[in-house]
Amino acid sequence: MGLKSHRFFFFDQRRLFCNSSANCLFSHGMSPFDLLFKKKKKKKRHPILGRRQGEQGWMEDGAQLLKEVISSCDGRGCYPIRMFSAKEIEQAIEQPFHQEKWFYVNYEGTHEDRQIIIKVYRKRRELAFNEIATVTQIKHANVAKLLGCCFEMEQPILIYEKVPFMLSNRLHQANPSSSLISWEHRLRIAIEIAYAITYLHIGTSRPIVHRNIKCSNILLDEHNKPKLADFSLSITIPLGETHVKTLVAGTSGYIDPECFRTATVSEKSDVYSYGVVLLELLYGKKQRELHEGVLGVPSWDFDVAEIREKEKGLKLILGNGLSMNVRQVEQAMACMELAGRCITYNPDERPPMKDVTQQLLQIERAELSPQSSSSSLFQVQQLGQWRAE
């Protein structure tokens, strides 16, 4: 059967279809010469991407992806993605971007005058299909946009829009004064990421749990607009269920302790991880420093009582290197109390992300309760004393 070429395939609301046939997804970018002589040529090895795989491999990968999409989309539409050719990837790829992960590595690239990130999976290829099937359901301004993928190489390759900075790098640089994120931007980052997680939980046909929310998976553009990235570990909650049993996965320090205890994942698992990120934004410290250096507790179990101790929390906020006025310190104190509720050990006592987002918006508008405001103001008045010490 002849192979036809087409740049896009689309997911319809009721069915998945290609404009020609399933084969067209994997032949884009091949010249007539390639089609005529590909059996006689030896497989080309690329120093970064590895070797090409044959037509049978493309078809198996495509079938696996379609299976994942069908099971994930639940009859709803998914946005179209482009099928890139191996030649396009080889011409676009430039250099490693950020740090290497244990099962994939990101590279910078340029394609048609557009900056892109090329995500090359080196192992656990099933996670690549899971990521594609998940991200194509999500249309949100604070989620990194998947542009397409490539199955011509032995490793699955995903192509994303380039977002230049990682939140973790901006918060934890050796010389933070050179790129310190202001309090206004930190609060706005917290709000917009909360919006994105809320969308995952209630804005899709079935709740999506990210499972790996952390500062290194939050990207920032030149204006500090955040984008949530890396959906390789995400999982969908079946309709009518509140949780799923699965293997523990994620990053130590951000993983919900309930997952360790029961091997269950729910929307409240993301709430816990988000609470840790919120504390990092407040204090400007790495998660490990918060756990071990500041609180002196096991790496996956925060002592919420310590977090809620206002005097200690205020000292930590004042040590974040920011120049903050009284109103901003009050906002930070309110965020600290909210983070404490997010990381409560019992998932049932954590607020849903929708409520977290609403409370953050109230904090941004300085709509604090009288008790909270007066208590914070009393402590903020001690600012000079503590700084003098």
75: domain CATH number is: 3.30.200.20
pLDDT at residue 36 in the model = 47
pLDDT at residue 381 in the model = 47
- Identify the domain boundary among 161, 184, 202: 161
Both 202 and 308 in a single domain? yes
Let me know if residue 2 belongs to a domain: no
Both 336 and 366 in a single domain? yes
Both 196 and 313 in a single domain? yes
pLDDT in tens, 344-385: 999 999 999 999 999 999 999 987 654 454 444 444 444 444
- Average of per-residue pLDDT across 282-289: 75
Let me know if residue 326 belongs to a domain: yes
pLDDT at residue 9 in the model = 43
123: pLDDT confidence band, cut at 50, 70 and 90? Answer: confident
Contact status, residue 269 vs residue 211, Cβ threshold 8 Å: yes
Both 332 and 273 in a single domain? yes
Residue type, 278: L
Both 55 and 184 in a single domain? no
Lookup result for tokens 């690549």: 128
Residue type, 363: I
pLDDT at residue 133 in the model = 87
pLDDT at residue 51 in the model = 58
Token code pair at residue 164: 């230049």
Domain count, the chain: 2
DSSP per residue, 284-348: ---HHIIIIIIS---TT---HHHHH-HHHHHHHHHTSS----HHHHHHHHHHHHHHHHHT-SSGG
Both 260 and 318 in a single domain? yes
Both 57 and 198 in a single domain? no
pLDDT at residue 95 in the model = 74
Lookup result for tokens 């918006």: 361
Choice between 75 and 119, residue whose per-residue pLDDT is larger:
119
In sequence order, what are the beta bridge partners of 146? 160
pLDDT at residue 16 in the model = 39
pLDDT in tens, 59-91: 565 555 555 554 555 545 566 788 888 889 888
Let me know if residue 36 belongs to a domain: no
pLDDT in tens, 8-27: 444 444 343 334 333 443 44
Per-residue pLDDT for 255 more than 60? Answer: yes
pLDDT in tens, 183-228: 999 999 999 999 999 999 999 888 999 999 999 999 999 999 999 9
Token code pair at residue 280: 């990092």
Let me know if residue 103 belongs to a domain: yes
Both 371 and 275 in a single domain? yes
- Identify the domain boundary among 128, 161, 194: 161
Could you tell me how many residues make up the chain?
A: 389
Phi, psi of 109 (to 5 degrees): -165, 170
Both 263 and 359 in a single domain? yes
Both 113 and 231 in a single domain? no
pLDDT in tens, 149-194: 888 877 889 999 999 999 998 887 655 445 579 999 999 999 999 9
CA dist 206 and 310 (Å) reads 38
Task: Determine the 3-state secondary structure of 202 from DSSP.
Answer: helix
Let me know if residue 351 belongs to a domain: yes
Let me know if residue 3 belongs to a domain: no
376: domain CATH number is: 1.10.510.10
Both 157 and 175 in a single domain? no
Let me know if residue 1 belongs to a domain: no
pLDDT at residue 179 in the model = 56
Both 241 and 314 in a single domain? yes
Residue 266 lies in domain: 165-388
Cα torsion through 332, 334, 336, 337, rounded to 10: 170
CA dist 313 and 331 (Å) reads 12
In sequence order, what are the beta bridge partners of 105? 120
Let me know if residue 35 belongs to a domain: no
Averaged confidence pLDDT in the chain: 76
- Identify the domain boundary among 161, 191, 209: 161
Share of the chain above pLDDT 70, in %: 64
